């Protein structure tokens, strides 16, 4: 796993081993960042369910001004901390060991939210209503999820923008935050 482009291009990222870990493939990661590329510069990002931190690190590498990394696994948070340090993004990062939905009960506003939770646990549907109140107008939420999951067209001030499919297992759904 590596950073695809930007200031940390080519940096290898550490990941955790095991069946509970499912790093985003380069193909899907490239698709995510093609969707949000023009919105990234100087954006405030949250990488919810961050795992190794690869999505937030890619956002920082491509010009985001800051990223909050949130994961409930201590091992994942330590992995993220090592990856952020190795890429030189410590000054732009906040790394939080917390349940994602619990964290969203705290104050904070974001321009871009990246959600890649464990599949088939209902975590996206728990997080989206809470996240809606944290998104700046025009903000973008990108959800990576299992193929076949049908997410609602509207959740709070979030409006579904587009759905993408990547083979039989992975899909992306994007939302835009309205005024």
Q: pLDDT, tens digit, for every residue of 78-111?
A: 999 999 999 999 999 999 999 999 999 999 999 9
Side by side, the strands of the sheet bearing 158-166 are: 93-97, 66-71, 44-48, 110-115, 135-146, 170-177, 158-166, 154-155
pTM for this predicted structure: 0.93
Q: Which domains does the chain possess?
A: 26-177 (3.40.50.150)
Q: How far apart are CA 1 and CA 26, in angstroms?
A: 8
Per-residue pLDDT tens listing for the chain (179 residues): 889 999 999 999 998 875 455 677 778 889 899 999 999 999 999 999 999 999 999 999 999 999 999 999 999 999 999 999 999 999 999 999 999 999 999 999 999 999 999 888 889 999 999 999 999 999 999 999 988 888 999 999 999 999 988 877 788 899 999 97
143: β partners: 115, 173
The pLDDT of residue 69 is 98
Angle, alpha carbons 41-46-47 (nearest 5°): 110
What kind and span of H or E run contains 61? helix 54-61
State the first-to-last Cα distance of the chain, in angstroms, to the nearest integer.
37
The pLDDT of residue 19 is 45
The pLDDT of residue 21 is 58
The pLDDT of residue 17 is 73
**CB distance 92 to 66 below 8 Å:** yes
- Write the CA distances from 17 to 20, 54, 65, 67, integer angstroms: 8, 15, 30, 24
């Amino acid at each position: 796993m590596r950073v695809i482009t930007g200031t940390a291009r080519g940096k290898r990222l550490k990941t955790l081993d095991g069946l509970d870990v499912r790093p985003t493939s380069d193909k899907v990661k490239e698709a995510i960042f093609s969707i949000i590329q023009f919105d990234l510069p100087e954006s405030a990002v949250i990488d919810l369910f961050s795992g190794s931190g690869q999505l937030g690190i890619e956002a920082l590498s491509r010009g985001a001004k800051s990223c909050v990394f949130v994961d409930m696994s201590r091992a994942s948070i330590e992995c993220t901390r090592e990856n952020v340090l190795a890429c030189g993004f410590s000054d732009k990062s906040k790394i939080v060991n917390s349940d994602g939905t619990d964290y969203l009960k705290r104050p904070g506003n974001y321009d871009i939210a990246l959600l890649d939770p464990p599949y088939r646990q209902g975590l996206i549907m728990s997080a989206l209503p809470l996240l809606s109140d944290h998104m700046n107008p025009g903000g973008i939420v990108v959800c990576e999820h299992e193929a076949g999951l049908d997410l609602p067209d509207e959740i709070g001030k979030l409006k579904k923008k587009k759905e993408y499919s990547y083979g039989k297992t992975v899909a992306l759904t994007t939302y835009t935050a309205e005024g």
